[in-house]
Structure 1
Amino acid sequence: MSESALQRSIRRGTAVLLVPLSLLLIQVEVVTRNLSGVVESSLPGLSRGVGVALLVAALLYLLASGARQLYLAADTPF
């Protein structure tokens, strides 16, 4: 595996792992609202905002990376 392919795989793996992490950040406010004894954050919308930003960034990267690889594969002769 070439160095660029290895780096691309690491970046894609990181993006794939960020998807469930960001979904957890988005729903943490809903889950903690119904638990007694949980201390509320001083920045209530921060986890949701960070979660949405991470989710959008990860999905856009995966989409762009897949489209780029598909485009490069289309130029390859059989």
Structure 2
Amino acid sequence: MLLVPLGLLLIQIEVVTRNLSGVVESPLPGVSRAVGTVVVVGAGLYLLASVARQVYEAADTPF
């Protein structure tokens, strides 16, 4: 659950630091956005798989 907001922060860090004085730009522009996107997508897929597994296991239990 914590990876989603942290990944979103990585995606928008370029926008946030653009207007700050004294911030040194990364020698690899766009890396934080790419890493943030991978983290958010990975966390989303993990959450969906976890919910799907729990629903599948709950469907097998008798009432």
Q: Distance in 1 between matches of 2:23 and 2:57?
A: 50
Q: 1:8 matched to which residue of 2?
A: none
Structure number with the higher helix fraction is 1
Greater RCO, CA 8 A, separation 6+: 2
Q: Which 5+ residue runs of structure 2 have no aligned equivalent? A: none
The runs of 4+ residues in structure 1 deviating greater than 3 Å are none
Q: How does 1:1-78 map to 2 (within 5 A)?
A: 16-78=1-63
- Calculate the aligned-residue CA RMSD, in Å: 0.5
Q: Which 5+ residue runs of structure 1 have no aligned equivalent? A: 1-15
Structure 1 position 17, deviation (Å): 0.6
Identity level (%)? 76
Aligned residue-pair number: 63
Describe the SS at the equivalent of 1:39.
Answer: coil
TM-score, normalised to structure 2, is: 0.96
TM-score, normalised to structure 1, is: 0.79
Q: Distance in 2 between matches of 1:42 and 1:54?
A: 21
Structure 1 position 36, deviation (Å): 1.1
